[in-house]
Amino acid sequence: MRLHHLNCGTIRVFGGVAMIGTGSLRTRAPGVIHCVLAETDDGLLLIDTGPGARDYAAPTPLNRWFIALAGLPRDSEETAVAQVRRLGYAPEDVRHIALTHFHFDHAGGLPDFPGAKVHIFDEEYAGVMRPRDIYERFVYRPEHWAHRPDWAVHALAGDRWFGFDCTPLVDLGATAFTLVPLPGHTRGHCGVALRLPGGWLFHCGDAYTFHGDVDPDRPFRPPYYRLFRPYFAMIGPFRKIGEHAPRLRALRRAHGDAIQLTNAHDPHELEKFRAGEPPGAG
């Protein structure tokens, strides 16, 4: 089974120096949108999609604003669908998409894979379908599910994964995955745990954004985090950054030889995976 670690969007976000630890106070920090493409016995599995082709070619006014906020260059070559094609596959070969959450930088590419089964946690699905407040109405964009995806909505049924609650395992032959709720960033935000031949890859989405936060030996916050805390608090969901970090650190301390961790936006982690030295292993 082969894994491809994709950067589906180079972001340059204000405050990124405090969130993802790159750049400086005076510049927007470069980050990534780290998606994982896995070749399985049941076609391709994509963990998060990044923004979609239409988000760049014909963005709605709100998506135009999201793109500007993230500082994305609107480079269609960075979309997952363009990268899938460059790897020699057709979009139809993506049979499964597992979502950490439904923000545009994680789910905007769904319309590019209209035939894929879309795996989502039931709490997140509820937020998308029945937003309960102005924030949810604002961030979940209907154009990203207007094509009526083949939803696979997963709920907790008593299963456990290394001490975390998780949804029942989805079997894709030699590999399998489960959704592990890490709520806060959105109400149904999950990590996606992918079983590999020698262990697990745990894509934590936006449950943390800086690798130092989950360092089991010497945890450290990005420089200037304190300085930006009021700004994060102002934009709601970022309040929760760091809440899961202690559990993820403990997970790495106990099972670091079996579990590789990554989040969605830290370029340091993506580079490590691409260099073949995954940060969560050992």
Min CB(253)–Zn ion separation in Å: 26
Contact 163, 224 (CB under 8 A): no
Q: Which is nearer to Zn ion, 99 or 172 (CB)?
A: 99
- Torsion, Cα 242 36 52 18, to 10 degrees, reads 30
Q: Which is nearer to Zn ion, 78 or 206 (CB)?
A: 206
Q: Which is nearer to Zn ion, 55 or 105 (CB)?
A: 105
Contact 41, 175 (CB under 8 A): yes
**Binding-site ranges for Zn ion (CB under 5 A):** 105, 206
Min CB(265)–Zn ion separation in Å: 6
Q: Which is nearer to Zn ion, 70 or 201 (CB)?
A: 70
Contacts of 9 (CB under 8 A, 6+ apart): 32, 33, 50, 51, 70, 72, 78, 105
- Which tokens belong to 139? 């961030």
Separation between Cα atoms, residue 264 and residue 135, nearest integer Å: 21
Q: Which is nearer to Zn ion, 105 or 123 (CB)?
A: 105
Separation between Cα atoms, residue 40 and residue 125, nearest integer Å: 25
- Which tokens belong to 12? 């340059």
Residues β-bridged to residue 12? 30
